[in-house]
Structure 1
Amino acid sequence: MIDPLVDWAGFALAVLLVEVTPGPNMAWLVTLTLSEGRGAGLKAVAGVALGLAVNAALSVIAASLILAQGPALTTAVSVLAAAMMVWLALEAWRDAGESSPTATPRRSGERHALAGFAINVLNPKSALFLITVMPQFVADGRPTMEQGLVLGAVSVGIATAIHGALVLAAEHARVALMAESRARIVRRVLALAMLGVAAWFLTKAFA
C-alpha cells in the first residue's frame, strides 16, 4: 500500500535531478565500460549500488535520531536541505570538473565492484543529501524508520537504474554526457531546477 503521508513523486524527482547531473560515478562507469567492456561496468554498478544501499540505511538511522530531538531541529533540517540543493546547484553550474574521467578512480578485474562499494559507502554527499532532503517529502517532516528505508530504496533504485542504463549504452552516453558543449548546458539547466527545489525547502522551513 502506498503511504499517503509521503510525496513519493516529489522525492523521486529530487533524486533524479541529482543523479542525472554528470558526476564521478557516471564518468567512471562510462569510461570503465568503454575501456574494459560491459561486464566490468556491470560489476562496478553492483558495487556502487551496494555502497549506496549501506550509506542510505545508515543515513536513515542518523536522520531518525536527529529528527526525534524536536521541531526546532526539523526546521533546521529543512534549511540544511535547501543549502544542500544550493550547493549541488552551484557545483553543477560551475562544471567543476567532477565528470572528468581523469578525476575518477580506476581499478582492474574483480576489484571494480569493491571500488564502487567503497567509494559510495563512505560518500558524505550521498549521506547528507538523504538526511536533509528525505524529511522534506514526509507530511510531518519526521519519517519513520520504515518510511526512511523505503525512501532510501527509491533513491538507490533510481541511481542504479541510471548507472545501469549508462553501462548498457556507454558509447552513446559518453557522447551525450562527456562532450563539453552539451555537458555545460545540461548542468546549468539542472542547476536552475535544483535552486527551485531549494527555494521550496526554505518556504517549508519558515511556513
Structure 2
Amino acid sequence: MIASALPAFLLTAFLIELTPGPNMAFLIMVSAIEGRKSGIAMTAGIALGLTIIGFGAVLGLAALISASPFLFQFLRWAGALYLVWLAAEAWISANEVSPSKVTTNHSNGQLFRRGLITNLLNPKAGLFFVAVLPGFTTPDLPVLPQAMTLTILYVAVATLIHLIIVMLAGQANSLVSSEPRKRFVRRFFAIMLLGIAIWFLAMSR
C-alpha cells in the first residue's frame, strides 16, 4: 500500500475510537469499580472481537451483512438489547446491599466474553471495514494483504486507546472504594449504557 495513506488511516481509526460508545462506557465503569485488571480483561475481549470482525470483513462476511437488511437489523437489535441487559444488571447490582453480593466482582473470563460479545453484536463495526477501510488500499496492489494489515493496525490503535481509558479510569478505583459510591457509579453508568443503547439504535438506523 502507499505509505502516505497510513497516517490518514491511523488518524481516522483514532478519531473513531475516541467517539463515545458501548466499549468506552463499559470500560470506564468496570475499571473504576473493579480495577485495572478487570478493565484489561475486557479490553482483550474487545480486541479479539474487532479482530474477528475485521478479518470477517476482509473475507466478505461484513459485505453479506450490509447486503442483508434482515441480518443487519438482527445484529442491530441484538446489540442494543445486550446493552440494555448490561444496564439492567448494573442497576440491579447497585441496589444489592448484601455484603456477599456487593463485594463480588465479575471474573476476568466474564469480562473478556462481554467485551467480545459487545463487538460481535455491533454491525457498524463490520460496516466500517467494508465502507471505510477499502478507501485506504491501493487497487494496483493485492488488496487482501493490504486489508489485513490495515485491520491489524486498526485493532492496535483501538486497543491502545482502550488501555489508556482503563489506566485513567483505574485511578478512580480508590475514590469509589466505599459501597455507597460504587452504587452511585453503577447507577450512573447503567443510565449511560441505556442511553447508548438508544443512541446506537438511532445512529445505526
Q: TM-score interval w.r.t. the shorter chain? A: 0.5 to 0.7
Compared CA separation, residues 42 and 171, structure 1 to 2 (3 A): closer
Distance of 2:24 and 2:164 partners within structure 1: 10
Would the aligned equivalents of 1:6 and 1:139 in 2 still touch at CA under 8 Å? no
Please say if 1:146 is aligned against 2:151.
no
The alpha-carbon deviation at position 122 of structure 1 amounts to 3.0
The alpha-carbon deviation at position 4 of structure 1 amounts to 2.2
Compared CA separation, residues 162 and 5, structure 1 to 2 (3 A): closer
Q: Percent identity?
A: 34
Partner of 1:62: 60
The counterpart of 2:28, out of the listed 30, 38, 41, is 30
CA deviations over 1:94-120 (Å, ceiling 9, x no partner): xxxxxxxx7597682130001111111
Would the aligned equivalents of 2:63 and 2:127 in 1 still touch at CA under 8 Å? no
Q: Output the amino acid matched with 1:62.
A: G
Compared CA separation, residues 116 and 53, structure 1 to 2 (3 A): same
How many residues are matched?
141
TM-score with structure 2 setting the length: 0.59
Larger radius of gyration: 2
Distance of 1:145 and 1:24 partners within structure 2: 29
Partner of 1:51: 49
TM-score with structure 1 setting the length: 0.59
Q: Secondary structure at the match of 2:112?
A: helix
Q: Secondary structure at the match of 2:20?
A: coil
Q: Output the amino acid matched with 1:155.
A: Y
List alignment gaps of at least 5 residues for structure 1: 67-101, 174-207
The alpha-carbon deviation at position 23 of structure 1 amounts to 1.2
Distance of 2:63 and 2:140 partners within structure 1: 13
List alignment gaps of at least 5 residues for structure 2: 65-85, 91-104, 173-205
Distance of 1:46 and 1:105 partners within structure 2: 22
Distance of 1:142 and 1:64 partners within structure 2: 22
CA RMSD of aligned residues (A): 3.5
CA deviations over 1:127-181 (Å, ceiling 9, x no partner): 00111101111233986111111110111111100000000111679xxxxxxxx
Partner of 1:126: 125
Would the aligned equivalents of 2:35 and 2:170 in 1 still touch at CA under 8 Å? no
Would the aligned equivalents of 2:50 and 2:119 in 1 still touch at CA under 8 Å? yes
